[in-house]
A and B are shown apart, each in its own frame.
Chain A
């Protein structure tokens, strides 16, 4: 017995250490699910997962890493990120469904059914955008969602759907009746219904209902006792209902949308017209990407803790930037990294960029040490001569590693004068360094000639309570 005890102790002693802890700790570990932005909802029975697709705000396809469908429902998992105004599209037989997802965040989920109500909503917003020449990218999720009670485009649309006699309720009725003609076994190349409406002003140029569908299959979709063989009434109702809303939202008097963009392309010029060495201070390693770090400057007349947290509160490598065509980034993979914030006008911000990994320290990631860039949040251009108002954007373009433009203390501008900049310093005759300016692409030493209003994202708006 004693011998066996010794043997046991010896065996245990022999088994401890040397990597066995990992086996003890991980042998039963099932790999974590990949972090996802998840969208679920109901789906017409019989529509396969392979016929589900996701469209981004520009109408391009997004690549989910997992799609499942069955039992009257679906689940789509996108790589964890922030997605605004994406559309879920399901295709089966002669029909096509769409649902609008105003927003889904990182490692979160949202429910959007692919049904008649979602279809009606997305048709209304598509028609409005077509009529106004705008894109989904330029809409604001907060303005669309509103408070769910009295404000927000979705709130208003859904309220009208439930109010008999409104154009929206009538349109919903039409959509519902058309959907009774779903034939999942039909082998249509293009769906008979519902395509994206194309608009000329408030007139539907291309109907969501396929041109020949109603000719071949007359349907009393407006329930007036007469079968319609064209889409005229449907299109007219769509245009009428769409005009009742303002998906762009209403102007936000308390905040302005600020876009910081960092040009990380090689061989770009600094404020001295010299070629920038991006890795003078930062170290390049696999897995790195661009981060923004900002804080409310001590000189700011507006001190806002929430804004400070939003900007990263001076902690490096916490606020990621995007170069994938999302979140305000205009062109995927072009080396211009973007992040946007909604900030109170007049706020003064200190900031800089880091080329790092999540949570990494300053050293080896910051564009330069000990200094910061400055920005005063004022929308100074472009100014609409008719209204005298700006574009509701503050757009800032910086070249990563530029020590001769907007660098507050040891500025390298000029050949020898290594001065500091203040809230009024104008080094290049382009206006104060700390304010929004026109810019020259890839060249920080030449003033820009025209202002830039991004089309990858809309100006900051709030939910409207009416059209």
Chain B
């Protein structure tokens, strides 16, 4: 063999070997990042844990207000090739306190033994796979990206399938296709098929978790959730430079095995019976949501923006496969169990719409205005809509306070849980109709907004069936005190915290609410860049409830005397100062008072008045150094709840703090 032959053979072999080498991610294309997050909590009570409020129903053992906890997150992203990427997040389980020495995942229910090995995996800091995904851009016409795996569902909207709340941010997985049918964003599309969460997206906050023999744990009428998916599609068009339109539709399909399939019934599995070793499926729940929204921002009128949205929802529950939680769950249900006049289950349908007109400093004097009209039907419900960390209305709403932020969402599935005391609160806005006018004035270091909102209720109705069809969440009365809110077992309202933020329906309702909000912020030109801010808010909430009592004997109509009238007033002042570029300090005071006539009680037992006053003092600091961030908040509130006899008065003297420290690399 000549040298030339040898060289040729070597070159050929090497070439083949190179050609056959699989694609691989080298370190250049490999991104690795980590983060340590530590939280310290204090409260002058006897609870222990690192989460102010966990699941209020199935109370778990991570809720508590005294302790320190740490979690670690490792994120890996790989650019496999120019058109293929992948990622994964490894996250330690939240819940183990620094004090939980030796906890190894053993679970001994009801026992906290001296071995320190009894609290289960919630306290074991195990590393869990989260957020695994791959994205590819295959050469298929119109297709830009295909994503397989975890995502936060943020490609849809709050009225259909909402962005998952932060703690669920990559728990959801599916297959998504994004593409462009027309160039220059004239028409683009997104489709998605998403595995339904077994836990919350359906009647009874689940999609078919089997219940035990006593009826607890899950739904005794159901037991199949691996077949359940949601599907959604979005068409988006930048029709012109001024006009953008977006159409979104979603279908949530919860199946159960048709229990009368011949193969499942008690007879022999004979062909004569049609037992063909297959099982048909029956719908347990079907939710359809659709929105069309658009924004018009005319180039010729730069100060003007008009946006609007129209929405429709339809939710059908099959009572053969879903336990009626209105009837059997004390009115706690994220869906309506609607029936027709013959008692047959029918879909609960609703429409919604809103229109927002914004004028941005049209007179060049710093004054802007926003006007929003909204109409949300009495039965509009986005079962998988955003559950928190979003806001669909311009108004400040009813639930927010001074230090407490929040928003309004068009779902009965609002989630004010798995959160700390300093986090926002959300209320459902199903049934709201009305308008908001918001004026904003900016001048120099001053920024002020003034809001006025009137809210009528499409849910106003007399003698609504809240026993079998419409969930009332047991506590439909009174302003919700988010500051003093506690999650007691089975949602017991033993500290008179007000209405459940999910409560939409009442047996008798004739309600109207108006509110005014003034916000002001002033940046002072002084060392430390101090900023002064203030907020004042007034809410007037009236509910005629049972409008009249008709004497069955005489037919005489007399007022029932059960009218609710709530007046809430709140002032808040706060100041922040930044003495160095790394350090920011804040302090503030809030005073809230609300008087409520006929706040608590019932039609049969009568109603009683309440009078509430609350002082809240707040201080905090933030410190950033290199890649490390430290935050600390300290709060004290004193609350007096003065209740009409025979109820006794209550008082709160609560100190609580929360510190966070995170470092990322």
Contact = CB atoms under 8 A, between A and B. Distances in A.
Interface string B280-292: 1110000000000
B545 to A, nearest CB: 38
A77 B267 CA distance: 16
Contacts of B220: 286
B265 to A, nearest CB: 4
Nearest to B174: A18
Nearest to A9: B140
A14 B175 contact: yes
B142 A107 contact: no
Contact of B281 (A20, A26, A34, A80): A26
A455 interface: no
Contact of A22 (B146, B227, B260, B265): B227
Output the residue of B141, B261, B320 with the most chain A CB within 10 A: B141
Contacts of A320: 266
Interface stretch (B208-216, B409-417, B445-453): B208-216
A19 interface: yes
A332 interface: no
B193 A18 contact: yes
B258 A31 contact: yes
Interface string B218-258: 00100000011101000000000000000000000101001
B560 interface: no
B108 interface: no
A7 to B, nearest CB: 6
Nearest to A318: B268
Interface string A18-57: 1110110110010111110000000000000000000000
Contacts of B267: 35, 80, 106-107
Contacts of B213: 284-287
Given A6-B140, A18-B193, A29 B280 contact: yes
A206 interface: no
Contacts of B194: 18
Nearest to A21: B227
Output the residue of A10, A34, A285 with the most chain B CB within 10 A: A10
B143 interface: yes
A287 B217 CA distance: 14
A7 B258 CA distance: 36
Given A20-B193, A35-B260, A286-B220, A7 B253 contact: no
B140 A19 contact: no
Interface residues of B, number: 37
Contacts of B142: 6-7, 10
B177 interface: yes
A6 B228 contact: no
Contact of A17 (B175, B210, B258): B175
B253 A22 contact: yes
Contact of B231 (A20, A26, A33, A107): A20
Output the residue of A9, A13, A19 with the most chain B CB within 10 A: A19
A180 interface: no
B193 A3 contact: no
B255 A26 contact: yes
Interface residues of A, number: 31
B398 to A, nearest CB: 39
Nearest to B139: A6
B260 A32 contact: yes
B140 A10 contact: yes
Interface in B58-116: none
A357 to B, nearest CB: 10
A89 interface: no
B203 interface: no
Interface in A70-120: 80, 106-107
A13 B193 CA distance: 12
Nearest to B262: A32
Nearest to A81: B266
B175 A29 contact: no
A229 interface: no
Nearest to B226: A19
A50 to B, nearest CB: 15
B128 interface: no
A358 interface: yes
A366 B261 CA distance: 27
A6 B260 contact: no
Nearest to A359: B269
Interface in B293-322: 320
A333 to B, nearest CB: 14
Contacts of A22: 227, 229, 253, 255, 281
A326 B194 CA distance: 47
A29 B174 contact: no
B258 A35 contact: no
A7 B212 CA distance: 48
Contacts of B193: 17-20
Output the residue of A10, A31, A34 with the most chain B CB within 10 A: A31
A10 B266 contact: no
B191 interface: yes
A18 B177 contact: no
Contacts of B260: 31-35
B211 to A, nearest CB: 6
A80 B255 CA distance: 24
B186 interface: no
B319 to A, nearest CB: 12
B227 A35 contact: no
Given A10-B143, A22-B227, A286-B212, A107 B282 contact: no
B275 to A, nearest CB: 10
A355 to B, nearest CB: 12
A284 B227 CA distance: 25
A393 B320 CA distance: 42
B270 to A, nearest CB: 10
Nearest to B176: A14
A13 B142 CA distance: 13
A32 B141 contact: no
Interface string A347-368: 0000000000011000000000
Contacts of B210: 286
15 contacts: A6-B142, A10-B179, A14-B191, A18-B174, A18-B195, A19-B229, A20-B231, A22-B281, A26-B280, A31-B280, A31-B320, A32-B258, A32-B260, A285-B212, A358-B266
Q: Which 10 A-B pairs have the closest CB atoms?
A: A19-B229, A18-B193, A32-B260, A6-B141, A26-B281, A35-B265, A10-B140, A286-B213, A14-B177, A107-B267
Given A6-B141, A10-B177, A107-B265, 12 more contacts: A6-B142, A9-B140, A10-B179, A14-B191, A18-B229, A19-B227, A23-B253, A31-B280, A31-B320, A32-B260, A80-B266, A285-B212
Interface of A: 3, 6-7, 9-10, 13-14, 17-20, 22-23, 25-26, 29, 31-35, 80, 106-107, 284-287, 320, 358-359
Interface of B: 140-143, 146, 174-175, 177, 179, 191, 193-195, 210-213, 220, 227-229, 231, 253, 255, 258, 260-262, 265-267, 269, 273, 280-282, 320
